[in-house]
Each structure stands twice: as C-alpha cells, then as structure tokens.
Amino acid sequence: MKTLVLAAASLAMMSGAALASSQNGMIAKFNSSARVITLESGKSFTIPRDVALPPVQVGEQVSIQLNDEGDKVTTVLR
C-alpha cells in the first residue's frame, strides 16, 4: 500500500509541468513598446521583459505559454 501511495505522489510531482497552460490564436493587436499581444479571441497578454519575444506581427498565429498559475507568460512561440 505504501508503494502505491509513493508512486502516486511521485507521479503527481512529476506532472506539475503538464499543468502549465497555453493560449493559441491569431494576433489581432500588438503593442511592441508595452509588449502586449491581443489575440482575436480578445485575450491580452503582457510579455515580461525577461521573456524572449520573437518578431511577431498582426495576423500571425502564436502560442503563448503560461506558468502553472496561469498569470504570467513564460514563452511566446510563432
């Protein structure tokens, strides 16, 4: 029984990264000076200065990766 509990706890700890979420969509607006991307869905994301921002423009498809809490952008992919 202890083995089963330990295995389940280990699996839960290792899958923490899988809880991070992502938002995919087409860029509707992009404010480069404020580092804000707004998707066609209406959701806006402020990209922190410590996160690399690839060259993006309105009309491009992007994937915005968020931290586990879903309140901070960790990666922007084209």
Burial of 28 (0-12, 13-18, 19+ CB in 10 A): middle
- Tens digit of each residue's pLDDT (9 = 90 or more) over 8-50: 455 455 544 455 799 999 999 999 999 999 999 999 999 999 9
Say what the pLDDT of residue 56 is: 97
Cβ neighbours for 64, distance < 8 A, ≥ 6 positions apart: 22, 23, 24, 37, 39, 45, 73, 75, 76, 77
pLDDT of residue 1: 53
Cβ(45)–Cβ(71) below 8 Å: no
* pLDDT greater than 70 at residue 74: yes
pLDDT exceeding 70 applies to what percent of the chain? 76
Average pLDDT value for residue range 59-69 = 97
Quick one: pLDDT at residue 69? Answer: 93
